[in-house]
Structure 1
């Protein structure tokens, strides 16, 4: 018990401490490694630490890093009334900052420290679990499964940060402080290759059922691995492989739609719903966060005691254009147009409680971060099929998603691939997908959906859609080079 408590404490320290070196390569618990890896409970605690560290990374930048990368620069928002998020929305990512302004969310978004802590913890599990005595595990399945989770988390993290920065350093070994050194960035292709190699190992080691049933969707299983593969392959334009991986998830029979009627639909975002494939837990009774996407999207007495306007602005005009069929259940149950004449409240993350009934009560948001869910993978398969010429099957899936929302089949007007991307925009609004969908849509179908005042096609092709490294990273690591477009901008 003492050993497990120590790991939890050390994991917490990893989340809250700042990085002094290039990647903060030194595991904070390295001094305990010699005496730590003794039981299955030890290994399980170390694996659980990876998910805690990923939650810390996604809750960076005042609780919204996941959405700052995946939603804010898309067409979902017009601006923010809170500094510096208006610059995130407008893609002014080169905003000059003082070297001392390390608490600035833009500074944090341009650094990858927290993600490399996840990678380092995965590397430690991959290093030490195979060295442990096999007899301390319940069985070989348990040992393999925990190792599979580490390969999954390393694959996921490399894929995620590659979408943000393109090429990043690839580290696959746990290192002691004395051996820590700077590393140049691998190419984006090399990073993706590492992620796919890790995924192959993860798929071999993981099962469809988690070691503990309570961990379903909260920790990786084979379904999460195939879902990740579907996204990785789509990102690289390998749509045949993407569609096949998505089909593996669907054929597993483990996931199914949640009703789009009001109360059932909102359970998706509280977490652990029938649609959940992989999500970050912070919606349980003993969890929650004082900051997060709900703090940026809720306003008005109906949703928030103190905010009269949301920190992120979604206009009525955009929602009316996106949801052009008024009978859409998603429009009816997740968007409130009555609070104000100029903005819309998206209430997907309205699971808000307060510490007490006073005016000074602290708001606590209890929504999981939904990374992969069933309808996402369904539509990703439809995208892959449409891109590879299987239009009839792709259209069947599109109509299936529309039927869940109470809509008639697609009318067939326009391009099928564009219709699928538009359906993803409706279905997955504010779930961390839209920005990356817009990138894929342009790269592989030639349909440019970005606002030209934020990023023209010419700037996209020069690489503006890839985030810059914060100058502090470049100062710490002489082998790191600024990303292509942002090397021409004075940060």
Structure 2
């Protein structure tokens, strides 16, 4: 099954590194076969760069916002959309009929995991072929190990991410074309997590805290990214002792810290490369950017001069219920509540330029996808500590995050767990976390916050919170199975 085939993944225009000139300028190897490709350290570097490029393509696949469509749209952050089919996406009406030929439809793309398997295939290739390369071809054994560590990290991350989206998916760990995924039955969610955990342990052993090139910190995996991923993986399944330990390892490294929540400094988090950034997908280097990103859906004039009505509606009532303290710097510097009474603008992603000064100008967004950042891991540790009964330490972290936003200490009224998740909702608004946070909040703590129109507890327990497989995948691979909920719904 280990078929030799063309190495087709373009690298030069899709690189996922920010301010990393040497790494970005590696010669693309778009037509090289395996037999003549794996000859130098630069070849191995280019191959591992392709994993980041392919992950970025997966996160941008559906209208430029797949990452946010999975992590934010189905949550309580949005109330409506005027753009098809995102109204159905945010209302968890994921059974929308899509003609098999309509491959550009965002719903088809969100239900289809093929882009993620391109990442998997590329990581498998790096793992297999770099290990067969002569060690003398590398600057040092440590450099070779680091490249392998990145590949193991990226495979661990991608399987974990797919596991949160679909639950059980096929596990492929050999360097074969992604098309062969159709010949594999879906593993259970537990097996997917076990594979991810195994890869992550290898990655932690091979990676270092410091990146080989300092300018690649945050946008290329290191040990900090690995511990952040471990903290999320363990929290996802309720292993909170392990989650707390992983988060603490990252925090104790001393390499990450809060940045000011004041105005421009705060917004720099989303441009990328801030002191809070642990793992980011870059759109912000000189040869990068995206024509359609999350800002294209959430901004209006004057933040986006070409749009007058947001394509995704953030309801004022939700913002009022979430930000109950007007002195909160995040409310002041990340939201505009004055433009219109029917919607609120979140302008975290307002870093954009235009191709020219005409009315037909093309917007170019230069915002990184911030996957993990420091305050996320801080609050995840607080969640874990509260879950295992270390409430004083959990409350201390909660108050630390609140202090950054110019808020007083938590009042102590009500549930500490609920207070931590509410703080995550404020701190990480529109950063790809809220939907998964709501799942954990119910699965592990019994607090159900999904709007009833989107999902009921009964439907949740039947697996509605997982995405269904697109019918085209089921036709290709009859070994796949929908969750009990989606198995009863016509797609």
TM-score of the two chains, using structure 2 as the length reference: 0.94
SS at 2:33 equivalent:
helix
Q: What is the deviation of 1:10?
A: 3.3
Task: Count the aligned residue pairs.
Answer: 473
Do structure 1's residue 216 and structure 2's residue 217 form an aligned pair?
A: yes
Whether 1:264 aligns to 2:265 is: yes
In the TM superposition, residue 284 of structure 1 has moved relative to its aligned partner by 2.2
CA offset digits 1:129-171 (Å, max 9, x no partner): 1100110100000000000000000000000000000000000
User: Does 2:121 match 1:97?
Assistant: no
Structure 2 CA distance for aligned equivalents of residues 235 and 92 of structure 1: 24
Residue in 2 that maps onto 1:139: 140
Describe the shift of the 1:178–1:194 C-alpha distance in structure 2 as closer, same or farther (beyond 3 A).
Answer: closer
- 1:18 maps to which residue? none
Q: Match for residue 246 of structure 1? A: 247
Other-structure match for 1:201: 202
Structure 2 distance, partners of 1:410, 1:159, is 33
Distance in 2 (CA, whole Å) between partners of 1:222 and 1:32 is 32
Q: Paired residue for 2:114?
A: 113
Q: Which residue of 2 aligns with 1:483?
A: 483
Q: Report the CA distance between 1:305 and its aligned residue.
A: 1.7
Q: Is the 8 A contact 1:8 1:45 kept in 2?
A: no
Q: Which residue of 1 aligns with 2:183?
A: 182
Over 3 Å counting, the alpha-carbon distance change for 1:431 and 1:120 in structure 2 is same
3-state SS, counterpart of residue 339 of structure 1: strand
Q: What are the superposed Cα offsets for residues 202-230 of structure 1, whole Å, 9 maximum, x if unpaired?
A: 00000000111111000100000000000
Mapped to 1, the partners of 2:45 and 2:259 lie a distance apart of 31
Q: CA deviation at 1:479?
A: 1.6
Which ranges in structure 1 are unaligned for 5 or more consecutive residues?
Answer: 1-5, 16-27
Q: 1:87 to 1:359 in 2, by over 3 A?
A: same
Deviation at 1:11, TM superposition (A): 4.4
Partner of 1:320: 320
Shift of 1:475: 0.5
Maintained 8 Å contact 2:172/2:181: no
Secondary structure at the residue paired with 1:60? coil
- Cα distance 1:264–1:39, how it changes in 2: closer, same or farther (>3 A)? same
The 2-side partners of 1:75 and 1:179 are apart by 37
CA distance in 1, matches of 2:56, 2:130: 23
In the TM superposition, what are the counterparts of 1:8-157 in structure 2 within 5 Å?
10-11=10-11, 32-157=33-158
RMSD: 1.8
Alignment partner of 1:34: what SS? Answer: helix
CA distance in 1, matches of 2:182, 2:404: 52
Distance between the aligned counterparts of 1:221 and 1:14, measured in 2? 20
- Tell me, which stretches of 5 or more residues in structure 2 are unaligned? 1-5, 16-28
Aligned to 2:439: 439
Contact 2:114 2:178 in 1 (8 A): no
DSSP-derived class of the 1:336 partner:
strand
Give the stretch that moved more between structures: 193-202 or 180-189: 180-189
Where 1:249 maps in the other structure, the secondary structure is: helix
Residues 1:461 and 2:461 are matched in the alignment: yes
Q: Distance in 2 between matches of 1:165 and 1:444?
A: 19
- How far 1:79 sits from its partner (Å)? 1.0
Any conservation in 2 of the 1:469–1:483 contact (CA below 8 Å)? no
Distance 1:171 1:12, change over 3 A: farther
| 2:483 alignment partner, SS class | coil
| TM-score (ref. length: structure 1) | 0.94
After superposition, give the CA deviation of every residue in 1:378-404 in whole Å (9 maximum; x if it has no partner).
000000000000000000000000000
Give CA-to-partner distance per residue, 1:255-286, whole Å, 9 cap, x none.
00010000100000000000000000002232
Q: Rate the CA distance shift 1:322–1:130 in 2: closer, same or farther, 3 A.
A: same
Matches of 1:262 and 1:193, distance apart in 2: 42
* Aligned-residue offset at 1:482: 2.1
1:107 positional shift: 0.4
CA contact (8 A) 2:280 2:368 kept: yes
Q: Which whole-Å deviations, capped at 9, do the CAs of 1:293-332 have from their partners, x for residues lacking one?
A: 00000012x1122211111000111101100000000000
Specify whether residues 178 and 328 from structure 1 end up closer, same or farther in structure 2 by C-alpha distance, changes over 3 A only.
closer
Q: Distance in 2 between matches of 1:166 and 1:340?
A: 39
Q: 1:81 to 1:181 in 2, by over 3 A?
A: closer
Q: Secondary structure at the match of 1:358?
A: coil
Task: Spell out the pairing of 1:240-319 with structure 2 (5 A cutoff).
Answer: 240-300=241-301, 302-319=302-319
CA distance in 1, matches of 2:174, 2:484: 28
Paired residues of 1:71 and 1:431 also in contact (CA < 8 A): yes
1:30 Cα deviation after fit: 8.8
Instruction: Identify if the C-alpha distance between structure 1 residues 180 and 366 changes in structure 2 by more than 3 Å, giving closer, same or farther.
Output: closer
Give 1:97 shift: 1.5
Cα separation, 1, equivalents of 2:116 and 2:179: 21
